[in-house]
């Protein structure tokens, strides 16, 4: 076993997050889902624990969602993996050059992210996808430490209003006014950073056409162009 003091901040955070029991309602829900299971996944073991982010620890792009899906990340143990939202997200990341493949089936499917990291504000799957304010607050210390362990981030992508609400206090000075949420909008941040906004690739948004793949791709193309343009020039 690697001594604790020599392990990376993200690995240490992963161990602590997975053992968290600060929100009884969420832990009960995750464990019940893992026991009952969805019929199509009856033969699969469910993760049933809090999850952490996934990706490149040197990433310049940080993507933030709301929370694990009950039969997605709560089943597979990897954020945005095993559900329709994840299929949309990782396809878009692959098309934009931030992932080595478009598939996100399980933790052993070979997916690797390039210059990007994906996480969520709340680390446990909430009933009806609606975490309570105190549950968001309980997760805030884990989320803050996760951000601190990603020192190279220059572009932030918030997927939905709650993701924006959870992310904003940690990336902007208190004097900055939080932008109004809108798909495709962006906001300049101090230290040559930038915040991008997108609708969440939930089935509610994608099935209704509120979010289309061209709309999603447009956001990632904007992020990619920003990171390309912000690279220091060569003399």
Name the residue with higher pLDDT: 174 or 91. 91
Residue 234 lies inside a defined structural domain of this protein: no
- pLDDT band at residue 1, thresholds of 50, 70 and 90? very low
What is the average pLDDT across 63-83? 97
- The pLDDT, as a whole number, for residue 230 is 79
| Location of structure tokens 């300049």 | 188
Tell me if 43 is assigned to some domain: yes
pLDDT for 35: 95
Q: What pLDDT score was predicted for residue 6?
A: 58
pLDDT tops 60 at residue 5: no
The three-state secondary structure class of 191 is coil
Mean pLDDT of 119-124: 97
Give me the number of domains the chain comprises.
Answer: 1
Give the range of the structural domain holding residue 18, as residue numbers without chain letter. 8-229
Report the distance separating Cα 76 and Cα 219, nearest Å. Answer: 27
Asked if residue 1 is part of any domain, the answer here is no
pLDDT, tens only, 34-72: 999 999 999 999 999 999 999 999 999 999 999 999 999
Residue 165 in contact with residue 133, Cβ under 8 Å? no
In a domain, 185, yes or no: yes
Q: Report the mean per-residue pLDDT for the chain.
A: 94
pLDDT at 2: 47
| Residue-level pLDDT at 101 | 97
In this prediction, residue 8 carries a pLDDT of: 85
pLDDT of 108 > 60? The answer is: yes
Task: Please check whether residue 2 lies inside any domain of the structure.
Answer: no
pLDDT value at position 175? 84
Residue 60 domain-assigned (yes or no):
yes
Give the CATH number for residue 217: 3.40.470.10
pLDDT in tens, 154-172: 999 999 999 999 999 999 9
When pLDDT is averaged across residues 106-128 and rounded to a whole number, the result is 97
| Structural domain includes residue 168 | yes
* Token digits of residue 165: 């609400």
Average pLDDT over residues 21-40: 96
Distance CA 202, CA 84 (A): 7
**Beta-strand relationship, 193-198 and 186-189:** antiparallel
Indicate whether 235 belongs to any domain. Answer: no
């Amino acid at each position: 076993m690697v001594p604790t003091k020599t392990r990376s901040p993200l690995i240490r955070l992963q161990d602590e997050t997975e053992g968290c029991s600060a929100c009884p309602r969420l832990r009960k829900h995750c464990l019940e889902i893992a026991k009952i299971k969805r019929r199509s996944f009856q033969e699969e073991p469910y993760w049933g624990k809090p999850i952490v982010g996934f990706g490149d620890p040197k990433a310049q792009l940080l993507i933030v969602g709301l929370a694990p899906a009950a039969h997605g990340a709560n089943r597979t143990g990897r954020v945005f993996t095993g559900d329709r939202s994840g299929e949309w997200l990782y396809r878009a990341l692959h098309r934009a050059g931030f992932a080595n493949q478009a598939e996100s089936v399980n933790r052993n499917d070979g997916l690797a992210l390039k210059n990007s990291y994906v996480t969520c504000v709340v680390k446990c799957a909430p009933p009806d996808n609606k975490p309570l304010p105190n549950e968001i607050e309980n997760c805030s210390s884990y989320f803050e430490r996760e951000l601190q362990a990603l020192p190279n981030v220059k572009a932030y992508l918030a997927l939905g209003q709650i993701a924006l609400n959870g992310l904003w206090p940690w990336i902007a000075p208190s004097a900055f006014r939080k932008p109004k949420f809108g798909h495709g909008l962006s906001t300049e941040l101090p230290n040559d950073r930038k915040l991008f906004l997108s609708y969440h690739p939930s089935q509610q948004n994608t099935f209704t056409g509120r979010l289309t793949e061209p709309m999603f791709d447009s956001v990632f193309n904007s992020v990619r162009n920003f990171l390309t343009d912000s690279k220091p020039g060569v003399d």
